[in-house]
Structure 1
């Protein structure tokens, strides 16, 4: 279905007149009538009660009017989104990150804001396990993770390499060791991240 006949129908229903709709759309009244007839034929439904003195919509017409308004709003949203895409100097960037990753972002965000002062940067603190889904759903534009989500719907790039270390008391039996095997750590008690953390 083309959107133009829906826009014509929306104008007719809003103006409650074929002639006023023709004036607003800069078209002839017969052209407006023909557009409505073609839309009715395509939908196999009568949209306007032509037996009424005033312009009245049928039940089907009222349903189509509701969706025509939605399409019109979506068209406006699409135009705004494309305009924002063309103008990189304004807009919003929503970044999802867990608590530890947000610390690494501060310097980068400061430089980004200096370069794009009109772009609003929002940091949304979230669990690492939830960030891939939020990216896929479109709730985030960018996610900072400590692991590769391995999802073909996402593209990941390594931006920083971190190093993990075990910390023990100076008097601990392993404190003087330069290397420790995983087997030796098997019987140790740890203070660690919560269960849902990738680090754990």
Structure 2
């Protein structure tokens, strides 16, 4: 059993495809298939069910996967321990983040890279539930997610953050209203939630911090939001607004980066913003993540 075989198993399991796994680890697909087949012969069990449409774990694969991840993480931790003896931090820092991350996170990552130039940064975006799953699985060292207090925004009620995660508030980013230039609200200096009562809205799908913030604010104001279109991709909100599907509440940083050609208006509602929380796994903090988290406290 070789570490590369474990790495290939994890990649195929997470990508759900031998082709995507091969691209991820920069190895030819036949080589991955050959190595996994060799590992399956050694174990005496098939790890994957292979069909033309998808690749899925067998029960044996489900049982094997967490141990493969643990072995890879332990190996990486050992490598980190040796490099720290030399006073040099290297390796990789994998950070998950909400789409269109705030400038504060990017500034902190830039500062981290200046301090530790030999650490390679990997950034991934996703919705809160997926990012939390990736942190728990050890695929991400830490993640910046949108939350409603100590809860994940999975619908109005939400879900509590797992106790296996450490968490720290990362601040709140104001939301702004984005409209097409010819929209009647575009001439206003600012808008209130009451101004949105009769407006068609475009927003993100349930399970995102932005959707939770919108629903919570409208509930407090006694409004029923008229959601005409929803998407799981924050970058699509601006084109939807531009093409007349409706107006959108967007994080200020996203509006500045994605909303070229749109009119952005401040929202006069102090409680409405994108609450951000930094999470990490309590029992598996890598040397790179620890350095990043300690820098956040400076």
TM-score (norm 2): 0.36
Backbone CA RMSD of aligned residues? 3.6
Do 2:93 and 2:120's aligned partners in 1 also have CA atoms closer than 8 Å? yes
1:146 matched residue in structure 2: 146
Which residue of 179, 200, 225 maps to 1:189?
200
Residues 1-200 of structure 1 correspond to what in structure 2 (within 5 A)?
Answer: 78=74, 81-85=77-81, 87=84, 89-101=89-101, 104-147=104-147, 148=150, 149=152, 150-151=160-161, 152-168=163-179, 172=184, 176=188, 180-182=192-194, 184-200=195-211
> Which of structure 1's runs of 4+ aligned residues deviate more than 6 A?
74-77
**Which has the greater radius of gyration?**
1
Shift of 1:154: 1.4
TM-score (norm 1): 0.50
Shift of 1:101: 1.6
Shift of 1:181: 3.9
Cα separation, partners in 2 of 1:121 and 1:185, compared to 1, 3 Å:
same
What is the alpha-carbon distance in structure 2 between the residues aligned to residue 125 and residue 173 of structure 1? 32
Q: Which structure shows the bigger proportion of residues in strand conformation?
A: 2
| Higher RCO by CA contacts (8 Å cutoff, separation 6 or greater) | 2
Count of matched residue positions in the alignment of Structure 1 and Structure 2 = 129
Residues 64-106 of structure 1, C-alpha deviations (whole Å, 9 max, x = no match): xxxxxxx9xx889746524514726122110112321276533
Q: List gaps (5 residues or longer) in structure 1.
A: 1-61, 64-70
What is the alpha-carbon distance in structure 1 between the residues aligned to residue 130 and residue 73 of structure 2? 27
